Each structure stands twice: as C-alpha cells, then as structure tokens.
C-alpha cells in the first residue's frame, strides 16, 4: 500500500509517516520503484501510533509501548505502569489549565470591555491587584 492510502486510512499526514520511518517507528518495505510499501502490519502499527499520540503519549512513550506491544512475552503490568504514569501527567496538566482558566475568567469578568483605558486584565497580568489604584506597586 502506498503512503497516501495509509495516510488516509490511519489519519496521519504522509509527512508524519515519513518522519516516523526516519526515527525508526515503522520500517515499510520498498517497491521496485523506490516507493514505500506498507503491509497490513505496518498500517496496524501506524494506527497504534496515531491513537497513542492522540492520547498525548510522547513519541518516546510510543516507542516503549510499541516494543511492549510487539513483545509477546511482556507483562501487562509494565504497560499499566506506563499508562498510569501518563494518566497522572494528564491530570496534572488538566489541573494546571483549570487554574489558568479560573484566573483568566476572573480577569475577564472584572473587565468592562469598553473604551476606557483602565483594564483589570492587564493590571492582573502585571501582578497588580485588580483594583484601579496603582499606589501599592513595589
């Protein structure tokens, strides 16, 4: 199967697939004309990669997961450990973003959004308290 068909099937840009070959995540065969030739197994691997990357696993995580995936003798505990670590990271990220969102929406809520130059958002970003006075600056 040529790269474009694979690309459509697994939902990854052709460029990305070539890149994955470059870094050794897939190694498609080559046809006589030099075109990459992907087997069903390669497509399966790429589907795996697309999904894992979509779930936020880093490429190096993916490499590890792929190795486990292809290793018939691996312990599912290893996989579970990686997944759990990753889950913890995601949850941390979510918490961080929620913090951000809360701060930002506080700032937005305090902002009249009119033509006056006083803007609580900028004041907030500048580290001031969200009041109009500037006298307490350090």
Look at residue 2 and give the partner it binds from a copy of itself, DNA, none, a contact being a CB closer than 5 to 8 Å depending on partner kind. DNA
Burial code of 84-93, b = ≥16 C-beta within 10 A, e = fewer? eebeeeeeee
CB nearer to a copy of itself: pick between 31 and 87: 87
Restricted to residues 32-91, the positions that interact with DNA (CB under 7 A) are 32-36, 53, 58-60
Q: Tell me the C-alpha distance between 14 and 82, whole Å.
A: 28
Q: Which residues bind a copy of itself (CB under 8 A)?
A: 44, 47-48, 51-52, 54-56, 65, 68-69, 72-77, 79-80, 83-84, 86-87, 90-91, 93-94, 97-98, 100-101, 103-105, 107-108, 111-122, 125-127
Q: Tell me the C-alpha distance between 43 and 3, whole Å.
A: 10
Find out whether 28 and 44 touch, Cβ atoms under 8 Å: no
The answer to whether residue 93 forms part of the interface with DNA (CB under 7 A) is: no
Find out whether 111 and 120 touch, Cβ atoms under 8 Å: yes
- Phi and psi (nearest 5°) for 5? -60, -45
Residue 23's Cβ-count burial label (10 Å; 0-12, 13-18, 19+) is exposed
Look at residue 26 and give the partner it binds from a copy of itself, DNA, none, a contact being a CB closer than 5 to 8 Å depending on partner kind. none
Size of the site for DNA (CB under 7 A): 20
Least Å distance, CB 31 to DNA, is: 7
Locate 114 and state its tokens.
């009119």
Look at residue 83 and give the partner it binds from DNA, a copy of itself, none, a contact being a CB closer than 5 to 8 Å depending on partner kind. a copy of itself
Task: Summarize as ranges the residues that interact with DNA (CB under 7 A).
Answer: 2-5, 7, 13-16, 18-19, 32-36, 53, 58-60
């Amino acid at each position: 199967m040529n790269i474009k068909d694979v690309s459509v099937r697994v939902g990854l840009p052709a460029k990305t697939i070539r890149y994955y070959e470059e870094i050794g995540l897939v190694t498609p065969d080559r046809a006589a004309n030099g075109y990459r030739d992907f087997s069903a197994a390669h497509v399966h691997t790429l589907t795996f990669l697309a999904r894992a990357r979509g779930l936020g696993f880093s490429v190096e995580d993916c490499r590890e997961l792929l190795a486990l995936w292809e290793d018939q003798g691996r312990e599912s505990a290893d996989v579970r450990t990686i997944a759990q670590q990753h889950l913890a990271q995601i949850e941390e990220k979510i918490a961080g973003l929620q913090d951000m969102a809360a701060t930002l929406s506080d700032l937005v809520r305090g902002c009249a959004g009119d033509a006056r130059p006083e803007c609580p958002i900028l004041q907030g970003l500048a580290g001031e308290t969200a009041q109009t006075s500037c006298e307490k600056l350090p």
